[in-house]
Amino acid sequence: MPKTIDVTELVLRDAHQSLMATRMAMEDMVPACADLDQAGYWSIECWGGATFDSCIRFLNEDPWERLRQFRKLLPNSRLQMLLRGQNLLGYRHYEDTVVDRFVDKAAENGMDVFRVFDALNDIRNLRRSIAAVRRTGKHAQGTICYTVSPLHTAGDCVEMAEKLLELGCDSICIKDMAALLKPQAAFDIVKGIKEACGQAVRVHVHVHATTGVTLVSLMKAIEAGADCVDTAISSLSLGPGHNPTESLVEMLDGTGFETRLDKARLIRLKKYFAGIRPRYQEFLSNITGVETEIFDSQIPGGMLSNMESQLKQQGAGDRMQEVLTEVPKVRADAGFPPLVTPSSQIVGTQAVFNVMMGRYKVMTGEFADLMLGYYGETIGPRDPSVIALAVKQSGKSPINGRPADLLKPEWHELRDAAVAVPGCNGSDEDVLTYAMFPKVAPQFFTARDKGPKNLGKDPAAQAAAAAAPVKPPPPDDSKGPVRTTITYDVKCNGKTHKVTVAPAK
Amino acid sequence: MPKTIDVTELVLRDAHQSLMATRMAMEDMVPACADLDQAGYWSIECWGGATFDSCIRFLNEDPWERLRQFRKLLPNSRLQMLLRGQNLLGYRHYEDTVVDRFVDKAAENGMDVFRVFDALNDIRNLRRSIAAVRRTGKHAQGTICYTVSPLHTAGDCVEMAEKLLELGCDSICIKDMAALLKPQAAFDIVKGIKEACGQAVRVHVHVHATTGVTLVSLMKAIEAGADCVDTAISSLSLGPGHNPTESLVEMLDGTGFETRLDKARLIRLKKYFAGIRPRYQEFLSNITGVETEIFDSQIPGGMLSNMESQLKQQGAGDRMQEVLTEVPKVRADAGFPPLVTPSSQIVGTQAVFNVMMGRYKVMTGEFADLMLGYYGETIGPRDPSVIALAVKQSGKSPINGRPADLLKPEWHELRDAAVAVPGCNGSDEDVLTYAMFPKVAPQFFTARDKGPKNLGKDPAAQAAAAAAPVKPPPPDDSKGPVRTTITYDVKCNGKTHKVTVAPAK
């Protein structure tokens, strides 16, 4: 009997986060849910920090309502989310009772599997949220952010897995957000965890496709005993996204492993999302091939596109290569944190600042906090001279304890602030939305009544927008409205006129 | 000590054949040659039927001159070509002395490695060309076209390898032109060949990337003992092309295997071809993601794009799905030939005819020949009722012997015909060019003096050409010349006129 390999489908969360800037509207997900629910996946990843943020920032969707809809539309499936430990879905540490409240509410609204990670792999930042998940009776998946550095070894991953299991985690996830996990490392880590912690410990493997090698890594992880792997349906896969679900299924043919996924439903899902993808053309990642240079820079796909757009905003789109060279240096100065939200943004933004303004001439508040221990411990020592600059620029002192221990109970304060915002409905869910995105939540609360906004566009209309005119060159904002009239030189009865024309109907 | 895995780089032949309709001009290859020559490849594939054809049909380049230039530009490299056995680079069987002559001339002009295959895996069609290569002292690589069918087994491949080695081949190639070779099959076949024929027998593996699984197959082939694998530099890889060279290098890190390729040169090559690729935008394959449906249809990438353009030419671009369903049926009727040039074109074109005009209502001459044994033996029996139709439509009888045995010595006749063509320079090379492409060679001989024609275009100019007009929709032949004048409804002084306009200068 072949061993069954479980699969987590990423199309509703990480796939569109990685490939189309997290812009997919719920409306475009609904028609796929019946097939997703019946295809035989172990879980459907559908919620996380970026999707929550995008819901209220761009799509005028209530992310809690989205979760409740998923619960209804995927009645037979485990719903899975990505939780940033003590950061929840935000970018700072929250006080413990806020963490508890968030997990309770997510579980209550339908979440089944909580994949909990900390950007620095600091186990102290994971304890409270894992305990909260366990108390709800839901699945707590302890996560190891995979990274490479002169200091990281497979042994570190095994040790961290042991600590996560001591916290009562139901499974372990190896999370490779930058496609750095090579086949042999995947094999060694999974094998190491199984040998040290027992064959019965469930190991999940999450990889991105950016470097082109990670489907091989999944094969080796499976050979080493991995129980579940993450993939995305092929029409929303590859590039900075993930390996194609269908390719995983075919890859295992005859190997003694099988997925038991329903291939006919996979083909339907592929075709469905192939139709959705062009609607988000303007948000699609520029990266389509493979990028093995990432093995040197260690920059995950999402971070790459963030930095690209930061540079473009500052009119410095041509300085990407300098930034790519700067990132590993900033990372070394900061003690080799893994690069994942929020550390990827913190390191990436500082690298952009260093290139634009000189090294550490201007330090972001977040980077100073990282240097001073306010995000937790890093695996390596942090550069003392940069710490000194952080002290000087921020006026703060370094800390050694668990960052959240510095926080006072804040739920009531957050609640008071939230309910004072026009449009807040007073629910715990709204308070949590406000707590995590205090700058964005107010405009969302006010606009919520207008209902969801689908940013997808008819591909024909987009093509038309991109087409006109041949000359003169398009105005600076090439993403502006569709131009339907153009001025031409027209020869009519032998005379040339400047005439404004519209396409014939 | 890690075992060295050799690599054949495909960028100068199969990569641009698969991704950009074989249109890359020599001029665009020259600047890459120094890095290609020094990067540490086992061989550089650079010549074959489609590149030869494209040279004289589209690029006004003498393919023999291209070969001589490669010889000069790649002094440290083995030059490798793909030879269609008794078909040479053409689409019919040639008489044995023509085969000898072609191989002699190719070797004389600089070719080192002859990868010799027969579309039907009929060993009788390979004997003469392999003997010819051996006589030149060059490397004869006997090739097994990998395919799947209810009749094919790994054992068949091992048996064929044994037969090829009996003919004196220096190495064996498993050629998977349709990305059908799954990891376990790759392992079993390579293992089987090594066990049956000896560990010292060199096994090369050529796979396409279309289904997304074949980098894993290369890993398993390497684990089973494969000596050399084929890849393409990443900026001209994936889709219907091949696995990225850089990903192969990284994949092997720490596994006990290594390529010894020079990574810095690979990055330079990647960047160089990333700059060339957009120049051929109009020829680029539409397929970018993975297509696992190929496991059902078994259609190689090049064949897909051929059929797409055939259908479009007939205004039936929307009937691709019917053709995809028809292909496996036609293939079964023909005794399950592998689908590779020319059998892929023969089966594909017949499938298009069947869909457009009814099943076997009109049979191509080539398909009738295939049914009647004029291309050789197939692994399975051919459908008697279709054979009967072939007899009726073609007026020919079925044969059982080696097809080339029916041919009379033809060199002198071919020479007489060639030298009578204006512009023929009387060399054996020109006679061979004429022999293989008698319809195309005359116009090439006449135009040769005008020198090479680079079909690559400045990407900005292409964007402009693609931009106009918004409406009306482009005419049926969307690959026709760029339209610079368009008829619009123009309102001028309150009245609407039908007016032909050109973009303002």
CA distance B400 to A124: 77
Cβ-nearest to B467 among A253, A254, A470: A470
Burial status of residue B159 (CB atoms within 10 A of its CB: 0-12, 13-18, 19 or more): middle
Tokens of B292: 């696992």
Q: Minimal CA–CA distance to B337: which of B308, B300, B363?
A: B300
A to B CB pairs, distance under 8 Å: 176
Please name the residues in contact with A358: beta carbons below 8 A apart, sequence gap of 6 or more. none
Please state the ipTM of this predicted complex.
Answer: 0.88
CA distance B33 to B39: 10
For chain A, give the percent of residues with pLDDT over 90.
Answer: 81
Name the residue in chain B with its Cα closest to that of A223.
Answer: B220
Q: List phi, psi (to 5°) of A34.
A: -60, -45
Q: Are B279 and B458 spatial neighbours (Cβ–Cβ below 8 Å)?
A: yes
Helical pair A49-57 and A428-436, crossing angle rounded to 10 deg: 100
- Contacting residues of B for A220, CB less than 8 Å apart: 219
Which segments within A10-68 are labelled E, that is strand? 43-47
Tens-place pLDDT, residues B345-390: 899 999 999 999 999 999 999 999 999 999 999 999 999 999 999 9
The model's confidence at residue B302, banded by pLDDT at 50, 70 and 90, is low
Q: List phi, psi (to 5°) of A112.
A: -110, -45
Beta bridge partners of residue A488, listed in sequence order = A499
Which whole number is the average pLDDT over B151-180? 96
Q: How many CA atoms lie within 13 A of B24 on its CB side?
A: 27
Cα B303 to the chain's mean position, in Å?
Answer: 9
User: Is B303 a residue whose pLDDT tops 80?
Assistant: no
Name the residue in chain A with its Cα closest to that of B246.
Answer: A292
Q: Are A204 and A228 spatial neighbours (Cβ–Cβ below 8 Å)?
A: yes
Across the interface, whether the CB atoms of B470 and A503 are under 8 A apart is answered yes
pLDDT for A287 equals 77
CA distance A175 to A78: 19
pLDDT for B181 equals 97
Across the interface, whether the CB atoms of A290 and B183 are under 8 A apart is answered no
Across the interface, whether the CB atoms of B247 and A471 are under 8 A apart is answered no
Mean pLDDT of chain B: 91
Beta bridge partners of residue A232, listed in sequence order = A244
**Bridging pattern class, strands A486-492 and A495-501:** antiparallel
Tens-place pLDDT, residues B435-474: 999 999 999 999 999 999 999 998 887 777 666 544 443 3
Q: Minimal CA–CA distance to A436: which of A25, A99, A172?
A: A99
pLDDT for A466 equals 65
User: Is A301 a residue whose pLDDT tops 90?
Assistant: no
- DSSP H helical segments within B341-383, as ranges? 343-357, 365-372
Place of tokens 């022999």: B435
CA distance B496 to B19: 46
Across the interface, whether the CB atoms of A488 and B501 are under 8 A apart is answered yes
CA distance A260 to A271: 20
Helical pair B301-313 and B343-357, crossing angle rounded to 10 deg: 30
User: Is B476 a residue whose pLDDT tops 50?
Assistant: no
Cβ-nearest to A215 among B184, B216, B499: B216
- Contacting residues of B for A184, CB less than 8 Å apart: 253-255
Cβ-nearest to A235 among B216, B249, B289: B289
For chain B, give the percent of residues with pLDDT over 90.
Answer: 81
- Contacting residues of B for A185, CB less than 8 Å apart: 254
pLDDT for B364 equals 96
Cβ-nearest to A503 among B216, B464, B471: B471
Burial status of residue B358 (CB atoms within 10 A of its CB: 0-12, 13-18, 19 or more): exposed
The model's confidence at residue A306, banded by pLDDT at 50, 70 and 90, is confident
Place of tokens 């392992």: B187
Cβ-nearest to B253 among A184, A247, A469: A184
Across the interface, whether the CB atoms of A212 and B243 are under 8 A apart is answered yes
A225: left (phi over 0), alpha (psi -120 to 50) or beta: left
Name the residue in chain A with its Cα closest to that of B487.
Answer: A504
DSSP 8-state assignment for residue B212? S
- Contacting residues of A for B468, CB less than 8 Å apart: 467-470
User: Is A495 a residue whose pLDDT tops 70?
Assistant: no
Across the interface, whether the CB atoms of B212 and A244 are under 8 A apart is answered yes
Across the interface, whether the CB atoms of B468 and A466 are under 8 A apart is answered no
pLDDT for B316 equals 87
Beta bridge partners of residue A234, listed in sequence order = none
Q: Minimal CA–CA distance to A241: which of A222, A214, A219, A266?
A: A214
Which whole number is the average pLDDT over B478-503? 39
Host H or E run for residue A6: strand A6-9
Across the interface, whether the CB atoms of A216 and B251 are under 8 A apart is answered yes
Across the interface, whether the CB atoms of B212 and A504 are under 8 A apart is answered no
Residue A265 distance to chain B (closest CA, Å): 13
CA distance A107 to B252: 42
Tokens of A230: 């993450």
Least confident range of A123-137, A322-336, A470-484, B298-312: A470-484
Cβ-nearest to B250 among A213, A235, A469: A213
Q: Are A31 and A275 spatial neighbours (Cβ–Cβ below 8 Å)?
A: no
Best interface-test mutation with A: which of B213, B483, B491 has the largest number of A CBs within 10 A?
Answer: B213
Across the interface, whether the CB atoms of B488 and A501 are under 8 A apart is answered yes
Name the residue in chain B with its Cα closest to that of A211.
Answer: B247
Which segments within B372-456 are labelled E, that is strand? none
Best interface-test mutation with A: which of B3, B180, B187, B215 has the largest number of A CBs within 10 A?
Answer: B215
Across the interface, whether the CB atoms of B215 and A211 are under 8 A apart is answered no
Radius of gyration over every alpha carbon of chain B, rounded to an integer in angstroms: 23
Across the interface, whether the CB atoms of A184 and B254 are under 8 A apart is answered yes
Across the interface, whether the CB atoms of A250 and B295 are under 8 A apart is answered yes
Sign of CA dihedral B431, B432, B436, B437: negative
- Please report, as a single letter, which amino acid is at residue A345: Q
Best interface-test mutation with B: which of A152, A191, A208, A213 has the largest number of B CBs within 10 A?
Answer: A213
B335: left (phi over 0), alpha (psi -120 to 50) or beta: left
pLDDT for B461 equals 78
Name the residue in chain A with its Cα closest to that of B488.
Answer: A504
